[in-house]
Amino acid sequence: MKKKKIAIVATGGTIAGSGAAGKTTNYEAGTISVDEVLASIPDIRDRVEIVLDNLFSVDSNEIDDQRWLILTEHINKLADQQDIDGIVVTHGTDTMEETSYFLNLTVNTLKPVVLTGAMRPATATSADGPFNLFQAIMLASHSEAWGRGVMCLFSSTIFSGRDIQKISNYKIDAFDQRAFANLGYMKDDEVYFSSQPLKRHTTYSVFSRKPINDLAHVAIADYYVGASPDILDFLAQNNEGIVIVGTGSGNYSKEWRQRIEELSDQGIIFVRASRVTNSIIFQDDYFDPKHVCLGANNLSPYKARILLMLSLTITKDKKVINDYFLNY
Ligand code: SIN
């Protein structure tokens, strides 16, 4: 049988990190080639044909809007090649949950796109990168992986790029998802899917169908006990949208409500999210009877920001953007 052809797009991160032999801390991310990580996976080139693209070599805290747009374009070009069966993106874990949601909304293919990384640098004892990369490649080459949106593979768990969230900065089982089920599991090279994403993604996403040159500027404002609303005025100077990280169900003080209403009248688009990991927030007749704010649904503030950045490239109509928050 013909071997599947998998493209690996390397962007950096701990999976390509190196430091003192054996140690898991005090290393530099994105310093070695993913080729070296591949070399430690037995038989991988017998199982699949691999093309390796070293796109960036950065710590994922250096990923920005422009790198996101370059990455989307790069993945789309690879996916357009008929002989490529799937794409793996190696990425730092710190911002993987943001990049995976951005790609989930913007890449225009049903071919499997899988992000993976590592918590331990390549030079650590029991580095987790090679096994994560092995499983990500096996997932990307699996026929059932088509059409499931951008996925992340970490510690034998298959996550939706929409829902994944980093929950540990010291364990190798470092990810989870908000309240809803993950997509499945892997045992070595075997793939077990248990659910299908229902939110719109990739080819079904309106954001994958139009060329995007620049993203809208959107900031995040944290509400906490005694927080001054002056931060909102400051952020409104350079942003078209602001995501509020409220308490509980996306709540904040009367003073914040008033300032948000004033800034909304001046054209700033607000989304209410929550500091609570498992929260669902819709437009709310009780807390916000004038529907000044949109609700983040069950997205984290960081993911809500991405959806608003993309939405504002299409429209400022709150009804349309609200529809995006319900469906993406
Ligand atoms: C990074 O996000 O690039 C550094 C941390 C990691 O990959 O675990």
Across residues 1-18, what is the average pLDDT?
95
Q: How many Å apart are CA 328 and CA 310, to the nearest integer?
A: 11
pLDDT the model gives residue 320: 98
Cα 132 to ligand 1 centre (Å): 14
Residue 181: pLDDT band (50, 70, 90) is confident
pLDDT the model gives residue 40: 92
pLDDT the model gives residue 177: 87
Cα 159 to ligand 1 centre (Å): 18
Identity of the amino acid at 121:
P
Q: Counting atoms of ligand 1 from 1, which one is nearest the CA of 119? A: 8
59 CB less than 6 Å from ligand 1?
A: yes
pLDDT the model gives residue 226: 98
Choice among 14, 72, 90, 95 that is catalytic:
14
Across residues 287-316, what is the average pLDDT?
97
Report CA-CA distances (Å) from 174 to 27, 168, 177, 303, 304: 18, 5, 11, 18, 21
Exposure b/e, 46-69, CB count within 10 A at least 16 = b: ebbbbeeebbbbbbbeebeeebbb
pLDDT in tens, 203-246: 999 999 989 999 999 999 999 999 999 999 999 999 999 999 99
Across residues 319-323, what is the average pLDDT?
98
233 is in an annotated binding site: no
Across residues 266-287, what is the average pLDDT?
96
16 CB less than 6 Å from ligand 1?
A: no
Q: Counting atoms of ligand 1 from 1, which one is nearest the CA of 174? A: 8
Across residues 149-174, what is the average pLDDT?
97
Say yes or no to pLDDT of 327 above 80: yes
Least confident of 27-41, 58-72, 314-328: 27-41
33 Rama sector, left if φ>0, alpha if ψ -120 to 50, beta otherwise: beta
121 CB less than 6 Å from ligand 1?
A: no
Q: Counting atoms of ligand 1 from 1, which one is nearest the CA of 58? A: 3
pLDDT the model gives residue 178: 80
Exposure b/e, 217-255, CB count within 10 A at least 16 = b: ebbbbebeeeeebebbeebbeebbbbbbbbeebbbbbee
Residue bearing the CA closest to ligand 1, atom 7? 92
pLDDT the model gives residue 179: 76
94 is in an annotated binding site: yes
Q: How many Å apart are CA 306 and CA 209, to the nearest integer?
A: 17
Q: Counting atoms of ligand 1 from 1, which one is nearest the CA of 117? A: 7
Say yes or no to pLDDT of 312 above 80: yes
Across residues 51-56, what is the average pLDDT?
96
pLDDT the model gives residue 224: 98
Say yes or no to pLDDT of 71 above 80: yes
Cα 14 to ligand 1 centre (Å): 5
Cα 82 to ligand 1 centre (Å): 32
Cβ partners under 8 Å of residue 148, min gap 6: 112, 160, 183, 193, 196, 197
- In the beta sheet, which residues pair with residue 185? 157, 192
- With helix as H, strand as E and coil as C, how does the chain read? CCCEEEEEEEEECHHHCECCCECCCCCECCCCCHHHHHHCCCCHHHHEEEEEEEEEEECHHHCCHHHHHHHHHHHHHHHHCCCCCEEEEECCCCCHHHHHHHHHHHCCCCCCEEEECCCCCCCECCCCHHHHHHHHHHHHCCHHHCCCCCEEEECCEEEECCCEEECCCCCCCCEEECCCCCCEEEECCEEEECCCCCCCCHHHCHHHCCCCCCCCCEEEEECCCCCCCHHHHHHHCCCCEEEEEEECCCECCHHHHHHHHHHHHCCCEEEEEECCCCCCECCCCCCCCCCCEEECECCCHHHHHHHHHHHCCCCCCHHHHHHHHHHC
pLDDT the model gives residue 134: 98
176 is in an annotated binding site: no
Q: How many Å apart are CA 295 and CA 88, to the nearest integer?
A: 32
Say yes or no to pLDDT of 114 above 80: yes
Q: How many Å apart are CA 222 and CA 246, to the nearest integer?
A: 7
Say yes or no to pLDDT of 180 above 90: no
Across residues 11-39, what is the average pLDDT?
91
pLDDT the model gives residue 56: 97
